[in-house]
Amino acid sequence: MTEPNKPDPAVPPLETIDDSQRVPPPRRPLPTRPEPIRTVDDVPPGAIAAFAVVGIIAMFLTLKWGLPKVITWSHHQDWSWFTQWTATVTDPVHAYLSAHTAGLPLTASSAFVIWQGVGIASLALSWLTGAVGARLTWTAHGACSVLMVWDASPAAGRPVAAALAVLAWTTGSFLALRGLSLRPLIINNNHPAR
């Protein structure tokens, strides 16, 4: 049979301290943050003037030579893929609205214009303001558009048409949902004032 562990006389026994008697370690001061650069105070006026001159020259060169080259290039491109993609999304939406506005005081053309207007307005407001309501409207507009495309497209091309509608909506979502993060924002108010 083994003997129970006997305390070593050289090591004092552990004592527990009541929570009310515990003293937290002293706080270390936070390192000072460097002051931000203020254009007027810290950057020499000559550097600001040089940056402005270089910027004006770059803008002039872009407008003088770059813009005409881009326009010439765009005139020589085949843009039929874009018009076909647009028609793949908008034609089924128009057909869906035509089939489902029968008996309403609203015409199919008016419903189609409203659909376009809500899409453009919610995209612009989401991009410019980042408002939650505009982003929710953009999301609902995209979901409804995909469902309308799915319902009104021919059965053989239904998955491709819906996929192209999803791609069109997600492409616009780059602008509409910019800055949106799924990570929670944690605000800690327990740190000392600086």
Residue 119, C-beta contacts closer than 8 angstroms, at least 6 positions apart? 138, 141, 145
Q: Give the tokens for residue 183.
A: 């990570």
Per the listing, tokens 């993060």 go with 181
CB 134 within 8 A of CB 125: yes
Segment 41-45 shows an average pLDDT of 76
For residues 165 and 88, what is the distance between their CA atoms, to the nearest angstrom?
A: 8
**Model confidence band, residue 193 (pLDDT cutoffs 50, 70, 90):** low
Comparing 19-23, 81-85, 108-112, 166-170, the range with the smallest average pLDDT is 19-23
Residue 55, helix vs strand vs coil? helix
On the question of pLDDT at 110 being above 70, the answer is yes
112-129 pLDDT tens trace: 999 999 999 999 999 999
Query: Of 73, 145, 149, nearest to 115 (Cα)?
Result: 145
pLDDT of residue 62: 86
- Cα distances from 138 to residues 39, 123, 142, in angstroms, run 39, 6, 6
Please give the mean pLDDT across all residues of the chain.
85
For residues 150 and 133, what is the distance between their CA atoms, to the nearest angstrom?
A: 26
On the question of pLDDT at 146 being above 70, the answer is yes
55-92 pLDDT tens trace: 999 999 888 888 888 888 888 888 788 889 999 999 99
pLDDT of residue 40: 66
Phi, psi of 150 (to 5 degrees): -60, -45
pTM: 0.57
**Model confidence band, residue 168 (pLDDT cutoffs 50, 70, 90):** very high
For residues 114 and 77, what is the distance between their CA atoms, to the nearest angstrom?
A: 32
Residue 187, helix vs strand vs coil? coil
What DSSP string describes 66-125? IHHHHHHHHHTS--HHHHHHHHHHHHHHHHHHHHH-TTSSS-HHHHHHHHHHHHHHHHHH
